[in-house]
Structure 1
Amino acid sequence: MEDLEKLVISRRLRVPIGSVGTGTGQGPQQWGQVAARQLDVALLSVGFTCSAPLLERLSNLRGETVIDLGVRILAAVRTLVGDHVEHNAYFLDFPKNVPDTLEFWAALLRGAMLDPAALDPAAVERLRRSSGPSALNLLALPGYGRYQHTYADLLAAHAELIPLAGDRVTVLDLGGSLESETRELYLSLAGSTVPLPAEDLAALRMLAASCAAEPDSIPVRENRAVINEARLAGGRPLLVDTVTDVLRLACAASGGDVTLAAPTRFRSFRRAERRALLQALDAIASPAKLGDVPSHREQWKRLGERLHPHEYPQFPQAAHVFEAARGARRVSSLGSRVEAALAQGRTGEAVDLLQNAPGALLRRLDHLLRTRTAATAPASVLEPVLEAAEKAAASASGRVLLSLREHLTNRLIPAPGRVFINRNGRAWATDDQRPPLAGDVVTRVAAILDAEITRRLPAPGRLIVDPEMLDVALPLSAKAVTPGLGMLPRGSLTRVDGELLRFFVHWRQAERRTDYDLSALMLDGSYGAPEHISWTNYGNDFAQYSGDLTQAPDGASEFIDIRLAQATKPIIIPQVNIFAGEAFDEAAEAFFGYMTRDADQEGLPFEPRTVRMKSDLRGAGRVALPLAFLRGDDGGWRVKWLHLYLKGHLGFNQVEGNRVTTALLVRSIVERDHLRVRHLVDLLRAKPQTGDHTTYIGLQTPADLPPGARVYTPATLHELIPG
């Protein structure tokens, strides 16, 4: 139950209380009210506060109930902001008294020469690089890469933070019962029209096991697999309509990857489970649907070894699936037939094949328009393709419509490069060699898409929009966005307030020595003239590094300060490089974030109430690029959300080695015209303002909304994407 409570608090910023604690809170010292105020003060120290209804509800509980609940609330929000660990810094006085890079290395060498233990032949040998007898490994110098003081020493060396009005204060709202809150969260995640990140899929799995509610629809296949896992365990009917749904379910039930991107080691299924899976497969394995099998041939073979379909002759259609996987039954997928037709210039045949797969047709529309005839041909020549697209738009998912709308907008603008980003945020770029599309063709398709999207959007009633929300990108895929504090979709733009920008990374190794390096790449307005801050360059005229830590058995933190008013580069890109050891998703813990402060604020290197963004690091990439900070023509700074990972090397990744790739990727993302909330707001305002309800779209939920208002914040923005 505590896990569910923590999930609701961290995902929705709501405290589920319901009928908890039946006391009146009255007594000689009104202990309930005192405990509620003490909790609110404790929350303020980490940048949170109770809403008026929440504070009133807490005040009417028994004091001991408030204390017990407050301990759990504080634990949840401290983890959310990154304050659940001790953030020590390598240099005790950071950001003051940090030595020059060369001075620091010279001091270490001098100390090593004066240390008798360091002069021992064995110690000297440890300092030598394998490349030659005359070279020394400076990273192995005594004292390098390890804290030379305790966290208590750090506390004593820094003055208290000066609280300012600009510090972050995140409001925690009063929730209903834990049952109602978990049900609402479950239905929101289950009914999401966009793919969820791995963390939300894990949350959905936990919620599905405890919630009996039935979602109206489950558009995303991965979500369906997770819910089917709970239904299989409970002996309930399965929700499947393709053979791949059954494969995803088998992966989910085996603790594998429901996205099918990675192979799953299937477990041994109980007889009842084998029967349920084969029965579901038999009901849907028509000849037309067998074409999906070759895409995952090897996984089907492995699953067949666990299900033993030959023991169930009553399910002959299910047996055909495994025959197709083994090659005993010849089938061809829709994709292969379309590719063959396009390769031979038979665009009309390809369009005909795609008529029954509207989503696939729209995803291939750019290719169809380019292969039909010359790119500059008038729309009349492309009429068959455009008519097919218009029909497909009426049936395709809203996410496909919006994705195509964004894609076509950017086809009219010459791009510096073509960026490919997979489901894990791994990114790479190449030259864009596609011929342009005719402007009138793009205009017509955009009008078709906007009309269909507008039709599906709900009537807004009284529409209220926070202007800060307009530049938030629509979450057309959330897979690479790790949940956390202040997280926004890739391509979003938000203002940066404050004079001092401070990046931080914290990690704790699980089994092996692990060295992460926080760095910052700085570029001019044309994405050139690179400059960096890292363990090889501690500072410049406007930036300062906190010092390099090379292992983290008990956790380690690194920081970079940027004095924005003095910055001579208008583009600043923080990154986290894995120099040695465990990957982000192998470490016991790894997260990144940034703080903003005013120049006269003191405080510790990490102050939770100044944290604007924090999220976990994960993924197979060895270099993380979470954000880019951009200075506008007005001198103000904004942050562009990237959520990117570079493949990097197995070890020794440094900012100097990836600056060209980073510059190209960031430029491609920054200059891309992402579809933002502004676009949907314009479409909503074009609809008739019918109904007496209120629709609010903003970064946080205000306190004065009327009852029954529809609220869309970053946590629930996926609910605004039409189905």
Structure 2
Amino acid sequence: MDTLESLVIVRRLRVPIDAPADAAPAGWGEVAARQLDAALLSVGFTCSAALLERLARLPGETVVDLGVRVLAAVRGLVGDHVRHNAYFIDFPKNVPDTLEFWVGLLREAMLDPVAAARLQQPTLDLLTLPGYGRYQHTYADLLAAHAELIPLAGDGVTVLELGGSLESEARELYFSLAGSESPLAAEDLAALRSLASYCADQPERIPVRENRAVVNEVRLAAGRPLLVDTVTDVLRLACGCSGGDVTLAVPTRFRSFRRAERRALLQALDAVATPAKLGDVARHREQWKRLGERLHPHDYPRLTRAAHVFEVARGVREAAGFDGRVEAALSAGRTADAVQLLERAPGALLRRLDHLVRTGLSAPAVLDAAERAASGASGRVLLSLREHLQNRLARTAGRVFTNRYGRAWATPDTRAPLEDDVLARALDMLDSEIARRLSDPGELIVDPDVLDVALPLSGKAVAPGLGMLPRGSLSAVDGELLRLFVHWREAGRRTDYDLSALMLDAFYGNPTHISWTNYSNGFATYSGDLTAAPDGASEFIDIRLAEATQPIIIPQVNVYAGERFDEAAEAFFGYMTRDAVQEGRPFEPRTVRMKSDLRGSGRIVLPLVFLRGDDGAWRVKWLHLYLKGHPGFNQVEGNRVTASLLVRSIVERDYLRVRHLADLLRTKGSAAGGTTYIGLEAPADLPPGTRVYTPGTLHELIPA
């Protein structure tokens, strides 16, 4: 139950309370509630008035027990569940010059007989010098060296709202995740799995197939009918039941299935394995072969269509795939035939629209087909195509491609431009269809700060966390001091992560950097390099924004040695903002504006980029990018060309934002529709029954 409670708190910022609403006032309940609120303020959170009033009416012991769990959840959310020490105890003060620091280490090594012997070797590894890369003081020493943080009225505070019962809150979160129109991050899929095991009700519609596979795992275990309509749905389910990847990106080692499970899987497969759908088998041929070895389809001779699936996988039976027929038609120059085929799959037709209008068939004919197909495609496909086409209005520096893991690459745009009238007609068609599907918002209230947040058309590369926004989102940076931080703890072998920052001019040139090879540059300071983290390690970069001479700052974390981000016991990145008068420790939880786990198979991560506008104000744009990097020794100096090209491609890309959807919603508002609020967080004075959309629930705005 504590896991579900924590999920609700960190994903919805709501505190579920099961105690009766009419519980009699008891002793020191109000005192305990005030003490909890004070503890929450120290880490940047506070109780709403409704939550505080409800807590005050509970027994004090209940408030204390609940408070312990709430505080643990939000401390993990903000990154305060670990001790953040710094290599240089006075950071950001008294950080030595880089060369001066290395000379000092060499001087000390010469006084040490063992270290001096190493200096006589043909090559010298500076990172092995005594005292380098490990804390030279305790966390208590660090605290003693720093003054208390001075709280200011402008400090951001996140409000925790009063929730309903744990059952109702878990059900609401479950329905939100299961019914998402956008693919979920790996952490959200894990949360969905936990919620599906707890919630008996099922959502009416589960559009994303990875989500459906997770729900089917629970249905299979309970002996309930499975929700499948393609053969691939069954393969995803088998992978999930084996602890594998339901996205099918990574091969799964299938476990042995019980007889009842084998029968259920084969019966579901037999029900959907029509000749038209057998063409999907070839996409995952090898996985189907391995699954056949576990399901033993020959034990069920009556399930002949299920057996055909494995015959196709082994090459015994032919089955032409849909994509293969389309590609064959296009290769032969029969564009009209390809369009006719694609009209059977509206989403596939719209995804290929740009390519089709540049082929031999006339653009009006392709657009006619697209207009007929639009009503059958998902809302996410319509919005994704809308974003794609609006970026064809003007040529950019290059095209950027990202996969489900956030791995990215960029390439020059060599496509022929689209005619203005073609773009105008396509955009009008898409906007009309999107607007038609939107629900009546009634009175629409939109926080201006949310207008530049990108719509979450895919959440796979975005790990949940505090203050997280979809790739391409823009938000303001308040404060005079920007402090980046990374924390990691190795799982089994020595691991060295390096926090760095690449600084560029307005034309993405003239690069400078801050890293373990360059401690300062006049407006930024590095906290010192740590080369191992058996008990956890933290690194920081302090940036005085008003003094910054370059308008583009790209933070990055490099794996110099050891475990990848997805192998480490723990790894997360974030940033804080402060005013100049605020001192405090290197890490102050109430100043954290963003924090998220690091994951993915890449060895370099570019979480976001800070941009200074013509008005002098700083804004942050979310990247969520991972670069492959090298097996070891990754440094900011070695990837600056790749990083700058990727960042420029994303900065110049016109992402579809909440602003666009809000404009469409305003055309549908009526007095009978109630009230809808869209913002970064909900104010306390909204009318009862208001539909609220914040970053954690923006995916619910995407129409079906």
Range of TM-score over shorter length: over 0.9
2:95 matched residue in structure 1: 98
How big is the shift at 1:689? 1.9
Shifted more, 301-310 versus 410-419: the winner is: 410-419
CA offsets, 1:126-149, max 9 Å, x none? x68xxxx53211011011000000
**Secondary structure in 1 aligned to 2:225?**
coil
2:67 matched residue in structure 1: 70
Answer whether contact 2:463 2:597 (CA < 8 A) is retained. yes
Give distance in 2, aligned partners of 1:500 and 1:331: 62
AA at the equivalent of 2:166: L
2:692 matched residue in structure 1: 711
AA at the equivalent of 1:260: L
2:159 corresponds to which of 155, 160, 171: 171
Answer whether contact 1:502 1:596 (CA < 8 A) is retained. yes
Q: How do 1:592-603 residues align onto structure 2 when only pairs under 5 Å count?
A: 592-603=573-584
How big is the shift at 1:117? 3.2
CA offsets, 1:680-723, max 9 Å, x none? 00101112424141000000011111121111000000000001
Whether 1:452 and 2:440 are equivalent positions in the alignment is no
1:578 corresponds to which of 559, 574, 578: 559
Answer whether contact 1:242 1:284 (CA < 8 A) is retained. yes
2:16 matched residue in structure 1: 16
Answer whether contact 1:22 1:61 (CA < 8 A) is retained. no
1:237 matched residue in structure 2: 225
2:480 matched residue in structure 1: 499
2:25 matched residue in structure 1: 25
Give distance in 1, aligned partners of 2:233 and 2:201: 21
1:288 matched residue in structure 2: 276
Identity %, equivalent residues: 77
1:6 matched residue in structure 2: 6
Give distance in 2, aligned partners of 1:218 and 1:19: 32
Answer whether contact 2:441 2:673 (CA < 8 A) is retained. no
Count matched residues. 704
AA at the equivalent of 1:171: V
Answer whether contact 1:18 1:175 (CA < 8 A) is retained. no
Give distance in 1, aligned partners of 2:21 and 2:373: 55
How big is the shift at 1:20? 6.2
How big is the shift at 1:431? 1.3
Answer whether contact 2:92 2:527 (CA < 8 A) is retained. yes
CA offsets, 1:560-588, max 9 Å, x none? 01100000000000000000000001000
Answer whether contact 2:21 2:54 (CA < 8 A) is retained. no
Give distance in 2, aligned partners of 1:232 and 1:644: 36
**Secondary structure in 2 aligned to 1:370?**
coil
TM-score by length of 1: 0.96
1:641 corresponds to which of 613, 622, 625: 622
2:139 corresponds to which of 151, 172, 178: 151
2:453 matched residue in structure 1: 472
1:198 matched residue in structure 2: 186
**Secondary structure in 2 aligned to 1:596?**
strand
Q: How do 1:209-358 residues align onto structure 2 when only pairs under 5 Å count?
A: 209-358=197-346
Pair 1:688–1:485, CA change in 2 (3 A):
closer
**Secondary structure in 2 aligned to 1:574?**
strand
Whether 1:524 and 2:509 are equivalent positions in the alignment is no
Give distance in 2, aligned partners of 1:707 and 1:344: 61
How big is the shift at 1:523? 0.2
Whether 1:557 and 2:554 are equivalent positions in the alignment is no
1:482 matched residue in structure 2: 463
TM-score by length of 2: 0.99
Answer whether contact 1:21 1:62 (CA < 8 A) is retained. no
Give distance in 2, aligned partners of 1:58 and 1:516: 42
2:36 matched residue in structure 1: 39
Give distance in 2, aligned partners of 1:25 and 1:111: 66
**Secondary structure in 2 aligned to 1:568?**
coil
Answer whether contact 1:461 1:693 (CA < 8 A) is retained. yes
**Secondary structure in 2 aligned to 1:599?**
coil
Answer whether contact 1:507 1:555 (CA < 8 A) is retained. yes
Answer whether contact 1:460 1:690 (CA < 8 A) is retained. no
**Secondary structure in 2 aligned to 1:573?**
strand
Answer whether contact 2:485 2:499 (CA < 8 A) is retained. yes
Pair 1:688–1:26, CA change in 2 (3 A):
closer
Answer whether contact 2:443 2:669 (CA < 8 A) is retained. no
AA at the equivalent of 1:254: S
Give distance in 2, aligned partners of 1:18 and 1:459: 33
2:588 corresponds to which of 607, 622, 625: 607
CA offsets, 1:616-642, max 9 Å, x none? 000011100000000000000000000
Give distance in 2, aligned partners of 1:346 and 1:428: 32
**Secondary structure in 1 aligned to 2:584?**
coil
Whether 1:88 and 2:85 are equivalent positions in the alignment is yes
CA offsets, 1:640-685, max 9 Å, x none? 0000001100100000000000000000000000000000001011
**Secondary structure in 1 aligned to 2:357?**
helix
AA at the equivalent of 2:559: I
Whether 1:401 and 2:409 are equivalent positions in the alignment is no
AA at the equivalent of 1:264: T
2:643 corresponds to which of 657, 662, 675: 662
**Secondary structure in 2 aligned to 1:716?**
helix
2:150 matched residue in structure 1: 162
How big is the shift at 1:383? 2.1
Whether 1:624 and 2:593 are equivalent positions in the alignment is no
**Secondary structure in 1 aligned to 2:203?**
coil
5+ unaligned residues in a row in structure 1: which ranges?
374-380
1:509 matched residue in structure 2: 490
Give distance in 2, aligned partners of 1:26 and 1:38: 16
**Secondary structure in 2 aligned to 1:691?**
helix
Give distance in 2, aligned partners of 1:705 and 1:403: 32
AA at the equivalent of 1:160: E
Give distance in 2, aligned partners of 1:343 and 1:599: 63
5+ unaligned residues in a row in structure 2: which ranges?
none
Measured on the aligned residues, the alpha-carbon RMSD in Å equals 1.0
Answer whether contact 1:459 1:690 (CA < 8 A) is retained. no
How big is the shift at 1:83? 0.1
Give distance in 1, aligned partners of 2:512 and 2:454: 29
How big is the shift at 1:399? 0.3
1:387 corresponds to which of 355, 368, 371: 368
How big is the shift at 1:21? 9.4
